[in-house]
Structure formats: C-alpha cells, structure tokens
Amino acid sequence: MDIIALLLFLGVIIIAFVRKNNAGILALAIGVIAVRIFGMDDKELYGAISNSMFTTLVGITLLFAIVNSTGALKLVAEKIVAASGKRVWLIPIAVFIAGFVVAGVGPGAIPALAIIPAMAVPVAITVDYNPVMLALIGECGLMAGRMTPITPEGQIITTVAEGVGIENVMPTILACQTLSTIVFSIVLFIIFKGYKLKKPINVIDSKQIEKFNIKQIISLISIVVMIAFIIIFDMNVGLAAFAVSAVLIFFNIADEGECIKSIPWSTIVMVLGVGAMMTIVDAAGGIDLMSNALSSLMNSKTATPIMSISAGLMSMVSSALAVVYPTMMPMCVDIAKAVGGVDPLALIAAVGVGGSLAGVSPLSTGGALILAAMGSSKKDFNKEEQNKVFVQLFIMSAVGLLVIAVVSILSFNAITHLMN
C-alpha cells in the first residue's frame, strides 16, 4: 500500500508536467481513487485540504496584490536595484541578508515568508535574475535567521532540547543552519546560472526614481501592521493579511475587484490539491517507507545526514515547528547513544536544518508563497510555467536536502565540538 501511494503521487507530478495540466486538479482526481484503494473515505481526502494554507495563500496574495497595485513593490525593487548600481552580484547577498534580518530580529520564519518572496520576485524581474533563484536565496536567509534565540523557533527548540537534558543549543544550531543556507544559496546561484548576469538589464539612476506617494506609503506600512498582528496578537498570518487588506480596500487604497482578480487561483488550487494528495500518501505509509529506508542505513558517519533528510521528508507533510522538531529532536539523544561516535546536539542541528530547508517545496508555505509571488508579479505566468516552477521547487527542495546531507556529514560534529 505504501509503495502504491508513492507511485500514485509520482504519477500525478509526472503527468501534470508532461501534459501541462494543473497538478492540484489531477491530485484530487487521483486522490478520489486512492482513498478507495486504501480503504479510506472521501472525508479524509477533503479533510486533507489545508484550511490554514488556503487562508495564508489567499490572504497574503490579496494583501500583496493591493500593495503591488499601488506600485509600491515595483518602487522598492527599483530602489534596491539602483542602490546596487551595476554591481548586480550584490543583489542576491542583499536579499539573503534581508531575509536573515527580517526573521532573526524576532518574528521568525512565518512573517518573513510573507515579505521576502514578494519582494525578491519583482527585484529579480527588474534586473533579469531568475525570480525562483532570488526568492529561494531570500528564503535561505530567513531560514538561517529563524534560528536566533529570540524567535519562536528558537524558543520552541530550546524548550524541546532542555526536556532531554541539553542546554544552550541555539548558537550551535544557528551556526549549522547559517552555513547550510549559505552553501545552498551558492548552489542555487550556480544551478540557475546567476553568474552569467554581468549587469542588470535595467540600470536605474536613483535620482530619477519617484518618491513614494501616500498610497504607497500606507500600503507598505500595512505590511508592518500585519507583522505586528502576527507577533503581538499571535494571529494567523493569513487572517492578519485579510484584516489589513480589508482596511486598505475600505479606504480605497486599491480597486477591490482588480486585486481579487490578481490572486493566482490556479496556483492555489495546485498547492492545496497536491498537499491533500501528499497527506493521503502519508496516511498510507509512503513517508514512513522513505524514512525507514533511510534509517536502516544509519551509522556514526551517516546519522546526521539521515536525520536531516528524514526531518525534511516529514516537514513536507507536516509543520516543522508543531510536529517535526518536537517529535524528532527528543529522539536524538537515544539515537546518538545507540549509534555511537556522534554528538546528540549535531543530530538536533541536523533535524533543525532539514526541517527548515525542505520548506522550499511547493507543498510547504515557503515554496507555495514563491509560486504565489510569481503569479502576482509575472504577467506571463501561464499554466505551463506554473507547472515548470512547481517541479523546479520540488527539485530544489531535494537538492537542498542533498546539500544539508553533505554539509552535515562534513561539519556538524566539528561545529558542535568547537562551540561546546
């Protein structure tokens, strides 16, 4: 049953890519058949359609459609490009640092994910970088920043680690996470051939850029207000975005009808449909099959990469913060004792990094918001390109796990010993 589940899922992705169909619609159609094969019922399939993901995607894309309609994001992109001048290589570095700072000063990954892809995609389009590459590099930065001790992630991981007798874990995890995301960013830059761009297609003189008008200023302030709602009132990111959007529409900052039309509905159907199918695959044992196969290969040399890959696979179908970290991190002490020759803190770091970087998958919030940003910012983001980017994000999440595996086996134990 578990093998059949995985084969059905792979079949959906391959057929959607080859025939250029919406993968979400195909996934739900195959899901109807799958639940009957696996002895489930339809409630389990439509119950797997994530309300939280729907709220997040629609709320965020509506808010940024409003902000985008004022020209604010385009103007921000132009100012970033103008600041870099002809030194186009500075832009990926600036986007990575922006992601790190926005997440690391306290909010953590979720609020930062609402901002960074939406900012990175128009910047990339302006200079002619690949938008997927620049958005992924920005997300790498925020994934590193999310591991500072003052973020929600830092607090949760600290509590979990202290529960198994390990203290002061965040400096080590932050170091491992930052190293991994920098290496992954470099790999992304090479894969997408970012090095071929020697100068931006649009060289913008900062003196010629318009100043922000009142509507643009209000729309940008609304992003800060949304983040405040999320942090101060512990509000769901999608609901916070809806609340702010409603106020902006009420005061005629943008045209409501045009902004609703700008929401990338096809992308949202794709993400939700495939996510529901993946939940059925998980319930049928497909994810456990992959994780168990990896665990059977574990020894002192392979323990850290296998833990990182297992955490990554789990985080594709569940929340890293709510499920992966609390479930896998407590296991690390026992696994370290059983395997021998590996530091439990290195294993905890591997789980932390793996659970983060798999978030660029289109089934996770990070990848889904890149798709949404592409749909909002690119005029020619048709069904064929949606499917192409969807598959690219899947491939890049797999590449990310391979990068973590290599970096962890080479450095995590050494970093742990150096910092403790």
The full set of domain ranges for the chain reads: 2-419
State pTM to two decimals. 0.76
Residue 194 per-residue DSSP state: G
Sign of CA dihedral 45, 46, 51, 57: positive
pLDDT per position as a tens digit, 138-176: 999 999 999 988 787 887 788 888 887 888 899 999 999
One-letter amino acid for residue 409 of the chain: I
The mean per-residue pLDDT over the stretch 393-416 comes to 92
What pLDDT sits at residue 305?
92
* pLDDT band, very low/low/confident/very high, at 202 (cuts 50, 70, 90): low
What pLDDT sits at residue 295?
62
Q: How far is CA 218 from CA 13, 77, 111, 213, 214, in A?
A: 41, 17, 19, 9, 6
What pLDDT sits at residue 319?
65
- The better pLDDT of the pair 119, 295 is held by 119
The mean per-residue pLDDT over the stretch 184-195 comes to 96
* pLDDT band, very low/low/confident/very high, at 243 (cuts 50, 70, 90): very high
* pLDDT band, very low/low/confident/very high, at 40 (cuts 50, 70, 90): very high
Among 287, 362, 282, 267, residue whose Cα is nearest residue 35: 282
pLDDT per position as a tens digit, 299-322: 888 899 999 988 888 777 666 766
* pLDDT band, very low/low/confident/very high, at 69 (cuts 50, 70, 90): confident
